[in-house]
Amino acid sequence: MTQPRPPAPAPAGPAPGVRVTDVDVEDVDELTRWALVPATGFMEPRPSAEDVAKRQRRVRGHRLLGGVVGGRLVGSLRSFDTELTLPGARVVPANAVSSVAVLPTHRRRGVLTSMMRTDLARARERGQALAVLIASEAPIYGRYGFGAATEEATWTLDTTSSRLREDAPADAGTVELVEAAAVRAQLQAVHDGARRARAGGLRREERWWDLVLDPGAVSGAWDARTRTVLRRGPDGTPDGYCTYTTTESSRGRVSTAQLRVDDLTATTPQALRALWELVASVDLVRTVRAAHRPVDEVLPWLLRDPRAAQRTGQDDFLWVRVLDTAAALGARGYDAPGRLVLRVHDEGGPAAGTVLLDAGADGVEVTRTDAEPDVELAADALGSLLLGGVDAALLARAGRLRARDGAAVPSAAALFRGAEVPWCATEF
């Protein structure tokens, strides 16, 4: 069996001439120097003293790394503890990586590589089996063993043809326009229920809510034109919410107003239907646009005219890095029973090795083995497989997964397939 291409070698330690340092969030001067790096990398304004103070509140408790060259701080990386939902609604701890940037004067000399090695090694030492991130560019993170694991879609709805089918799920629940800040705890509870139930879900920290509920904090945050609707089930318990922002426009006296769905979360099919029905029927609105949605959005299937809802965009979203293969594979659920020997290539990295995955009706067991593998794959491909959203057969066709024989690929595909397409609704 020929081996799949492993990610680039990852020897321990920083690149020559690069030092990795911990940044003290409480030291305002240090934080100010650090904050300039992601602001420059992400093409944001130079952070004011007020911005730094806000950032300090947001990142307190996070791990901030700096990349130093010649005594100057030129790289930034931030990580924090989160929870990720795996197939079977298993919620596991994960290391979330964000704010990655290197000054344009010091790019391509190993600064990111040095920071990433440090952060992932520490996550592994803490016992975390997984790391996650959202990639600004797709070629960057495969070399560090991250694989794209969830996708997001943008849906565009023509409201002139958006009547729902008679058989769309319905109940006697209610929808009510609310002030988001006043029902923060209810919104959080709904989101928490939803993210725990579906693979790809991530915990939202208090500061995530602080950010969206603080008008003007960042571009794209909920603002004065944003409205929030809380949905309650027949017994009065909140089971969904939607925040949306409308933009008025017209052609002569004909309205061409748009509605942007900012966040739409539901824990029941009835709540999901009620919220879609609401945003699809706001008077004067001609087009509804919903980004960061699942690729298998239910909307077209609720409509009499499914073509009124078009998938107008699709991208990778959450990238997963396995830091402990046995722990990660043992933590998720498997709908179909199966036995598979997997060899993971991760040169210099923590996921390397061969394991026997044995999933049965009583649960799953993952043990190290010397047996010859049924399938071989690199760590980044394992990250893509773990949440069940990427088909093992597709990876095999792309040469990213190699099988001992023709039967191993369908076995791997059946074993890893999730009941539902994984979806992550939380930007970080």
Indicate the residue type of 409.
Answer: V
- Judged by CB under 6 A, which stretch of 94-102, 151-159, 187-195, 242-250 contacts ligand ACO? 94-102
Q: Which residues contact 363 (CB under 8 A, 6 or more apart)?
A: none
Specify the stretch interacting with ligand ACO by CB under 6 A; choose among 111-119, 159-167, 176-184, 361-369. 111-119
Cβ proximity to ligand ACO, 55 vs 332, nearer residue: 55
Residue numbering of the annotated binding site: 100-102, 108-113, 136-137
97 lines the binding site for ligand ACO (CB under 6 A):
yes
Candidate list 2, 108, 172, 307; residue touching ligand ACO; CB under 6 A = 108
Buried b (16+ CB within 10 A) or exposed e, 373-394: bbbbbbbbbbbbbbbbbbbbbe
Q: Which stretch binds ligand ACO (CB under 6 A): 131-139, 297-305, 343-351, 387-395?
A: 131-139
Which residue stretch of 110-118, 257-265, 400-408, 410-418 sits at the interface with ligand ACO (rule: CB under 6 A)?
110-118
Write down how long the chain is: 428
Nearest approach, Cβ of 112 to ligand ACO (angstroms)? 3
Size of site (CB under 6 A) for ligand ACO = 24
Note whether 41 binds ligand ACO by CB under 6 A.
Answer: yes
Smallest separation (angstroms) from ligand ACO to the CB of 7: 10
Question: Which residue(s) pair with 158 in the sheet?
Answer: 287
- Residue among 123 and 357 whose Cβ is closer to ligand ACO: 123
Q: Does 150 bind ligand ACO (CB under 6 A)?
A: no
Beta-carbon contacts of 29 under 8 Å, excluding residues fewer than 6 positions away, are none
> Coil, strand, or helix at residue 74?
strand
Q: Binding to ligand ACO by residue 99, rule CB under 6 A?
A: yes
Q: How far is the CB of 134 from ligand ACO (least distance, A)?
A: 6
Binding-site members for acetyl-CoA are: 100-102, 108-113, 136-137
Q: Is 141 a catalytic residue?
A: yes
Are 147 and 383 within 8 A, CB to CB? Answer: yes
Q: Is 133 helix (H, G, I), strand (E, B) or coil?
A: strand
Q: With contacts defined by CB under 6 A, name the span among 20-28, 92-100, 263-271, 332-340 that binds ligand ACO.
A: 92-100
Q: Which two tokens stand for residue 200?
A: 């790809």
What is the smallest separation between the CB atom of 147 and ligand ACO, expressed in angstroms? 14
CA distance 160 to 138: 37
Strands annotated E in 182-225: none
Contact between 113 and ligand ACO (CB under 6 A)? yes
- d(C-alpha 169, C-alpha 154), whole Å: 23
Residue closer to ligand ACO (CB basis): 142 or 201: 142
Q: Is 218 in the site for ligand ACO (CB under 6 A)?
A: no
Instruction: Examine the residue annotation and report whether 428 is marked as an active-site residue of this protein.
Output: yes
Number of H helices, E strands in the chain: 11, 21
Q: Based on CB atoms, which residue is closest to ligand ACO, 117 or 343?
A: 117
Write phi, then psi, for 367 (nearest 5 degrees): -130, 150
| Beta carbon of residue 108, minimum distance to ligand ACO (angstroms, whole number) | 4
The smaller minimum CB distance to ligand ACO, of residues 132 and 259, is found at 132
CB 390 → ligand ACO: shortest distance, Å?
20
Determine, following the binding rule CB under 6 A, whether residue 403 of this chain makes contact with ligand ACO: no
Residue 361 makes CB contacts below 8 A (sequence gap 6+) with 337
Extract the tokens encoding 125.
Answer: 């030492």
Distance (Å, whole) CA 199 – CA 89: 6
Task: Pick one of 53, 92, 140, 178: the residue that binds ligand ACO (CB under 6 A).
Answer: 140
- Rounded to whole angstroms, the Cα distance separating 321 from 401 reads 16
Smallest separation (angstroms) from ligand ACO to the CB of 100: 3
User: Cα(98)–Cα(63) distance, rounded to whole angstroms?
Assistant: 10
109 binds ligand ACO (CB under 6 A): yes
Integer Cα distance of 26 and 31 in angstroms: 8
Which DSSP state fits 16?
T
| Catalytic position from the list 42, 141, 144, 241 | 141
Strands across the sheet containing 353-360: 363-368, 353-360, 338-345, 375-378, 401-403
What residues line the site for ligand ACO (CB under 6 A)?
Answer: 8, 41-42, 97-102, 107-113, 133-137, 139-140, 143
Q: Which residues does the annotation mark as catalytic?
A: 141, 428
